[in-house]
Amino acid sequence: MKLITARPGIVVGLVRLLVAALLVTSTPITHAASPEKVAPANPLGLPAKAVETGGSLIICGGGRTPVSVYDEFARLAGGKSAKIVIIPSAYKYSSTLVVKQRYAGWSRYEPKALDVLDAQSRDMADGAAFNKKLEEATGVWLGGGFQSRLAAIYAGTKAEATLRAIVERGGVIGGISAGAAAMSRVMIRSGRDEEIVIDRGLGLLEMAIVDQHFTQRKRLKRLLTAVEQHQDKVGIGVDEGTAVVVEGSRVRVIGSHNATVVLSRPNKEVSLHTLAASERADFVAAGDAAGKRFDLRRLAEK
């Protein structure tokens, strides 16, 4: 497999997916989408009202994450007026004390409120007591661990609906590693290359599939497989030490490395777009009759 890369810019190469072998072939680079094309309001399927209220997601690829990523989350949550909730449930910690020690660094932002909510069962995630603090939050951080555990506890519960409501009222939800993978409704639970297991995630992104530790764990093939199986979805692969901020039709990359966007094309082809740290782009209509395919247009850096 040969991928075309460049710094800086969006790299676009057409890749043909063969069902049996997942053989990838590239054609010459094409230009990014023309400025005349209209940006769809919500191509990645954020919760319905998020576009008008400015709600956002921060999708973090895991590993050693720069402070700038956490700084941006705290800013979007409201700075010192923020009410932040940490959900560490993707990993089974031995005690509440260990959890609080693990996430003690968040206190340096001096938010108005900082709480840890760690449901141990679906009944707990459905409970009024658990959701009360969540309903007041302006920002929620989903910790790393195992996305299968996170989804098993929260997917389809009242807590999931409350998380969506936070974004709909203009708040931010961030997730790192497993917490990032669980954001998409179609969630990669496990597997490598062509052998993957798909499960139900939290539905914060209805029209995207997220993968993390992307370049470091060589996960391009498995994301391509997931997009081949769900061709109406956009694939988003995020490197370690890197985050993608999703705001309506726009994405921007912060951190140390890259993000990869996989867009479906007719005849089981896809286009690959690499966004480097500090790059910004928006999704624009690709011009298909159904209006369900997109191009990615690079924006000038601020």
Residue positions annotated with a catalytic role: 177, 195, 213
Alpha-carbon distances, residue 183 vs 110, 143, 205 (angstroms): 26, 12, 6
β-pair type (208-212, 234-238) = parallel
Strand partners, 199: 187
Q: What is the DSSP string of 20-59?
A: TT---------PPPPTTSPPPS-TT---TTHHHHT-EEEE
13-16, strands of its sheet edge to edge: 13-16, 269-276, 258-265, 234-238, 208-212
Alpha-carbon distances, residue 10 vs 5, 137, 209 (angstroms): 8, 35, 19
